């Protein structure tokens, strides 16, 4: 569970019972809102202490996903990777428009403080209401009254940030952060690819996730410009193995053997960057590959069930690998067709390459040809992009029988720095210091 | 123009009710305790019967004892007009009434109807004290008022050249004069919009017409003519009449613009609104959909916003120096970016927006966001 990723209790803040107002009832008073702005997170946490106690006293049986709880922001690793996967996603990639390194650092600090507040269920800055009537409010307000909903905000740094003559970071680019090669079948749209920065916002309420990206984009104006963003409405992966694997838009469970958020040994081996991996500033971080994968669902839906199951290498009802009764059973790869998706993607076919999947389904309206623009927004975290996604995708792009029904149309790769340890720390400190 | 008007600048809240010249009978009771102020205007003096009067409904009675035609104004300290009366002939009398809040005012007589006039300081006292502004705020408002009037004054001849070309049936000349005739308007549009009725007459787009309005009959102004010139490629008899209508409406604007209620806050918000206009109308290419002269409007909007900001800068840089530094930077980047789209920095010959590519439009839009966001904080910085 994500709690393990945190070593600090500072951001527990309002806890499960509080709303985004930072109170358990009603709208915030002007004084309350201004007070938070002035005193920052600590006061917000203190003000809500009562509701935390109330929760611990009486509602421990409410599952985290149902209660609107807060996920701690601070920790050795960023939240939003090993954390239990939330229901909704808003992912945004930004270009950095300022040329000034100090301005970029200031922005990262401002973003960190805003993220601390929002993940605790608080509005940014001096709030959405109660400020000067002449001024636009610091917070846009659409999350007022909503609980934290397990919001996590996870930042990543794209290759462009390390370019020569930009921010003096050319010597700090990790070797593991490779520019992805052109895989067979890729049809990448530059307007949906790349980015100097990314923020992954996951929450159980889409409004909470969108609110978070919107605040960060607004704080960033003049320093960053949004390059592309992607909404995801249904998680397709789980980091909690006791749960069923959610289905993708093809109706199948995929990635049933995902790394568990509580399996620290597997996380250390496959996800978290270790001390000796090169690029010391990345220790405790991870690498993220984001791919927008369009699914040709209309032709897929015309495919016979047997063929669908052969293509994946599992049965549609249970999600079990060929010849096995349960979805989490270890697959017998040789029982599958040579070009079955599970067989090709499995670690045993890829020298043990293992990634943590955290993707979401998307449907972005229609494509102008009477078909849904639907698919999988694939997100994968790994210790080294070369040994993770690249290794697996080389196999898949060449042989996967699923390729007839999918097309990769967007792509980005990011170095995801380690966690923010406390209220003095900030996103990217290890890179810029 | 804005499809839906939500202007922060409101039409003068202090309504000047001009009454007809009063008869002698009415004059006789004004000598009593009704609070009327008597002004005796000559060619060299402007004598006021009392300089303190209660806030509320004020009546000013003026008698022109001079040889020249005169005018009478009741003014705010920043030069804004509370109420006025023009064309008071020698030997005649006139009355002005106005609802006024407590505060300092000036009464001005303008013999010969020229210049700043002869002024007297007066004061309204009592409940509902008017907001006291700093001298630098008054200076900013006063300078902006002058700017707004200049823009209207300079626009009229340019609009006339455009109208004349339309009336002469000279398609090419009219097309050439079109965008240039709009610059002064675009620079000060939020003020013009504060007179609710003028903007829909001169700057409405076809999709901005209200339900029940017939484009053939009810659509007037620049964009109607833009469509004829740039899309239909011909000038009709109706267009020639519309050119005269445009001039009449713009003349109305020129006359009224001095009466707009302007405050430091409304200046700042007006600047922000100009950037909003760019963000919603120009960057999308909607405003000038036939002529594709959007970048001319874009530049004019930015210039108008920058003017308001520059005038407020002494206040803003004292209250929020970081904001002022950011605005300086973003205005400079915006202007540098716009300069890429014109060969000659002294001219308003901008590239057609049709030829501005998608990635360039995004770059322009990002620059508008980068400037618009800090600009939205200017009002709070000057209101402190």
Instruction: Please write the tens of the pLDDT for every residue from A243-266.
Output: 889 999 999 998 888 999 999 999
Per DSSP, helices labelled H in chain B are 24-30, 135-167, 171-180, 183-187, 189-193, 198-202, 215-218, 222-226, 237-256, 264-277, 294-319, 321-339, 358-375, 378-383
Which stretches does DSSP call E strand in A49-126? 88-96
CB B279 within 8 A of CB B373: no
Domains in chain B, number = 2
B43 and B162 together in one domain: no
- pLDDT class for A236, splitting at 50, 70, 90? very high
| pLDDT tens for each residue of A392-430 | 999 999 999 999 999 999 999 999 999 999 999 999 999
A residues 189-248 near B, CB within 8 Å?
A: 218, 221-223, 225
User: Does residue B9 form part of some domain?
Assistant: no
Question: A230: which strand partners?
Answer: A91
pLDDT at B234: 95
pLDDT at B88: 85
Tell me the mean pLDDT in the region A92-103. Answer: 97
- Residue in A132, A135, A221 closest to B373 by CB: A221
User: Does residue B24 form part of some domain?
Assistant: yes
- Of A365 and A1, the structure prediction assigns the larger pLDDT to A365
Chain B residues close to A135, C-beta within 8 Å: 376-377, 379-380, 383
B345 and B254 together in one domain: yes
Across the interface, do A222 and B376 touch by the CB < 8 Å criterion? Answer: no
- Residue in B330, B369, B379 closest to A135 by CB: B379
Judged by DSSP in three states, B99 sits in strand
B174 and B219 together in one domain: yes
Q: With an 8 Å Cβ cutoff, is B361 touching chain A?
A: no
pLDDT at A59: 36
The full 3-state SS of A259-305, as one line of letters, equals: CCCCCHHHHHHHCCCCCCCCCHHHCCCEEEEEEEEEECHHHHHCCCH
- pLDDT class for A36, splitting at 50, 70, 90? very low
> β-strands A360-366, B56-64: how paired?
unpaired
A227/chain B closest Cα distance in angstroms: 9
Chain B residues close to A225, C-beta within 8 Å: 362, 366, 369-370
* Res A339 pLDDT > 60: yes
Across the interface, do B370 and A221 touch by the CB < 8 Å criterion? Answer: yes
Torsion of CA A23, A26, A31, A35, to 10 degrees: 20
Q: How far apart are CA A407 and CA B274, in angstroms?
A: 43
pLDDT at A389: 97
pLDDT at A16: 42
B163 and B265 together in one domain: yes
pLDDT at A133: 78
B114 and B145 together in one domain: no
- Residue in B370, B376, B383 closest to A132 by CB: B383
Handedness of CA B24, B26, B31, B36 (dihedral sign): negative
Top residue of B380, B381, B384 to mutate, by most chain A CBs within 10 Å, is: B380
Q: What DSSP assignment string belongs to A291-359?
A: EEEEE-HHHHHTS-HHHHHHHHTB-TTT-PBTT-SSTTSPP-GGGS-TT-HHHHHSGGGTTT---EE--
- Of A373 and A35, the structure prediction assigns the larger pLDDT to A373
CB A144 within 8 A of CB A20: yes
pLDDT at A61: 41
Q: How far apart are CA B132 and CA B123, in angstroms?
A: 13
B112 and B144 together in one domain: no
Q: How far apart are CA A67 and CA A61, in angstroms?
A: 10
Q: Of the candidates B66, B94, B125, which is a domain's last residue?
A: B125
CB A172 within 8 A of CB A166: no
pLDDT at B102: 83
The maximal CA–CA distance of chain A, rounded, in angstroms, is 69
User: Does residue B6 form part of some domain?
Assistant: no
Across the interface, do A222 and B380 touch by the CB < 8 Å criterion? Answer: no
* Distance, CA of B1 to chain centre: 14
| pLDDT tens for each residue of A103-130 | 999 999 999 999 999 999 999 999 998 8
B192 and B211 together in one domain: yes
B139 and B90 together in one domain: no
* Domain CATH code at residue B90: 2.60.40.420
User: Does residue B291 form part of some domain?
Assistant: yes
Chain A residues close to B376, C-beta within 8 Å: 135-136
B residues 83-142 near A, CB within 8 Å?
A: none
User: Does residue B145 form part of some domain?
Assistant: yes
| Helix %, strand %, coil % of chain B (to 5) | 50, 15, 30
Q: For the ranges A30-34, A269-273, A290-294, B242-246, which has the lowest average pLDDT? A: A30-34
pLDDT at A17: 40
* Domain CATH code at residue B170: 1.20.1420.20
Nearest chain B residue (CA) to A227: B362
Chain B residues close to A97, C-beta within 8 Å: 366, 370
- Of A121 and A12, the structure prediction assigns the larger pLDDT to A121
- pLDDT class for A131, splitting at 50, 70, 90? confident
Q: Of the candidates B63, B91, B125, which is a domain's last residue?
A: B125
Helix B321-339 and helix B294-319, axial crossing angle in degrees, nearest 10: 160
Q: How far apart are CA A319 and CA A312, in angstroms?
A: 9
- State the number of CA atoms in the 13 A half-sphere of B93 facing the CB: 15
Handedness of CA A277, A278, A283, A286 (dihedral sign): negative
Q: Is the pTM of this model over 0.80?
A: no
Question: A197: which strand partners?
Answer: A94, A157
Share of chain A above pLDDT 70, in %: 85
* Res A10 pLDDT > 50: no
* Residue numbers of the domain that contains B323: 135-383
Judged by DSSP in three states, A371 sits in coil
Nearest chain B residue (CA) to A95: B366
Across the interface, do B362 and A225 touch by the CB < 8 Å criterion? Answer: yes
pLDDT at A140: 97
| Parts of chain B with a pLDDT under 50 | 1-33, 129
pLDDT at A289: 98
């Amino acid at each position: 569970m994500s709690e393990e990723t945190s070593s600090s209790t500072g951001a527990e803040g309002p806890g499960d019972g509080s709303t985004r107002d930072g109170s358990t009832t009603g709208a915030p008073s002007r004084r309350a809102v201004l007070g938070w702005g002035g005193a920052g997170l600590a006061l917000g946490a203190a003000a809500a202490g009562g509701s935390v106690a109330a929760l611990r006293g009486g509602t421990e049986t409410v599952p985290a996903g149902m209660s609107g709880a807060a996920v701690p922001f601070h920790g050795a690793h960023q939240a939003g990777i090993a954390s239990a996967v939330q229901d909704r996603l808003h992912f945004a990639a930004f270009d950095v428009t300022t040329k000034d390194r100090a301005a970029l650092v200031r922005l990262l600090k401002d973003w960190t403080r805003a993220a601390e507040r929002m993940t605790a269920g608080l509005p940014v800055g001096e709030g959405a209401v109660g400020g000067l009537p002449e001024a636009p409010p610091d917070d846009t307000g659409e999350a007022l009254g909503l609980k934290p909903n397990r919001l996590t905000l996870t930042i990543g740094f794209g290759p462009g940030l390390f370019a020569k003559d930009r921010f003096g970071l050319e010597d700090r680019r990790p070797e593991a952060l490779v520019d992805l090669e052109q895989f067979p079948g890729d049809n990448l749209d530059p307007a949906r690819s790349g980015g100097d920065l990314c923020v992954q916002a996951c929450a159980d309420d889409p409004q909470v996730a969108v609110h978070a990206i919107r605040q960060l984009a607004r704080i960033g104006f003049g320093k960053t410009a949004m390059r592309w963003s992607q909404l995801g409405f249904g998680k397709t992966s789980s980091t909690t193995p006791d749960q069923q694997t959610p289905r993708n838009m093809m109706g199948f469970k995929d990635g049933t053997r995902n790394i568990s958020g509580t399996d620290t040994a597997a996380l250390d081996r496959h996800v978290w960057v270790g001390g000796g991996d090169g690029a010391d500033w990345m220790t405790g971080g991870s690498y993220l590959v984001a791919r927008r994968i369009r699914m040709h669902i209309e032709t897929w839906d015309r495919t016979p069930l047997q063929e669908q199951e052969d293509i994946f290498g599992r049965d549609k009802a249970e999600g079990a690998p060929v010849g096995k009764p349960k979805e989490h059973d270890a697959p017998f790869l040789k029982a599958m067709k040579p070009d079955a998706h599970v067989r090709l993607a499995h670690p045993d076919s890829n020298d043990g390459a293992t990634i943590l999947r955290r993707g979401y389904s998307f449907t972005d309206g229609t494509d102008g040809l009477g078909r849904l623009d639907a698919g999988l927004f694939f997100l994968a975290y790994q210790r080294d992009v070369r040994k993770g996604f690249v290794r697996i995708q080389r196999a898949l792009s060449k042989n996967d029988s699923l390729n007839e029904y999918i097309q990769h149309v967007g792509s980005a790769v990011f170095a995801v720095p380690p966690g923010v340890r406390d209220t003095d720390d900030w996103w990217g400190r290890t890179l810029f210091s | 123009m804005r499809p839906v008007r939500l202007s922060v600048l409101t039409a003068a809240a202090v309504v000047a009710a001009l009454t007809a010249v009063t008869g002698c009978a009415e004059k006789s009771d004004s000598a009593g305790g009704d609070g009327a102020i008597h002004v005796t205007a000559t060619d060299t003096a402007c004598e006021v019967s009392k300089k303190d009067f209660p806030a509320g409904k004020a009546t000013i009675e003026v008698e022109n004892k001079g040889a020249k035609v005169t005018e009478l104004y009741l003014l705010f300290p920043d030069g804004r007009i509370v109420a006025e009366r023009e064309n008071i002939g020698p030997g005649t009398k006139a009355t002005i009434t106005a609802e006024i809040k407590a505060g300092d005012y000036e009464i001005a007589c303008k013999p010969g109807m020229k210049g700043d006039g002869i002024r007297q300081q007066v004061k309204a006292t009592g409940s509902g004290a008017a907001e006291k502004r700093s001298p630098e705020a008054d200076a900013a408002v006063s300078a902006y008022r002058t700017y707004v009037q200049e823009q209207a004054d300079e626009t009229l001849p340019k609009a006339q050249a455009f109208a004349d070309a339309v009336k002469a049936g000279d398609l090419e000349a009219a097309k050439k004069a079109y965008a240039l005739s709009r610059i002064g308007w675009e620079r000060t549009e939020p003020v013009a919009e504060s007179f609710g009725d003028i903007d829909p007459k001169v700057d409405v787009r076809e999709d901005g017409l209200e339900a029940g309005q017939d484009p053939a009959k009810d659509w007037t102004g620049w964009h109607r003519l833009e469509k004829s010139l740039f899309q239909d490629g011909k000038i009709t008899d109706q267009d020639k009449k519309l050119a005269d209508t445009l001039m009449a409406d713009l003349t109305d604007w020129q006359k009224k613009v001095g009466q707009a209620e302007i405050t430091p806050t409304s200046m700042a918000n007006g600047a922000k609104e100009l950037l909003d206009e760019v963000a919603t109308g120009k960057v999308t290419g909607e405003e000038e959909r036939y002529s594709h002269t959007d970048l001319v409007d874009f530049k004019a909007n930015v210039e108008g916003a920058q003017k308001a900001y520059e005038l407020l800068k002494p206040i803003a840089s004292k209250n929020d120096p970081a904001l002022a530094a950011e605005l300086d930077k973003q205005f400079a980047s915006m202007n540098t970016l716009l300069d890429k789209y014109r060969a000659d920095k002294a001219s308003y010959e901008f590239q057609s927006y049709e030829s501005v590519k998608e990635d360039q439009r995004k770059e322009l839009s990002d620059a508008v966001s980068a400037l618009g966001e800090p600009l939205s904080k200017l009002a709070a910085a000057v209101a402190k």
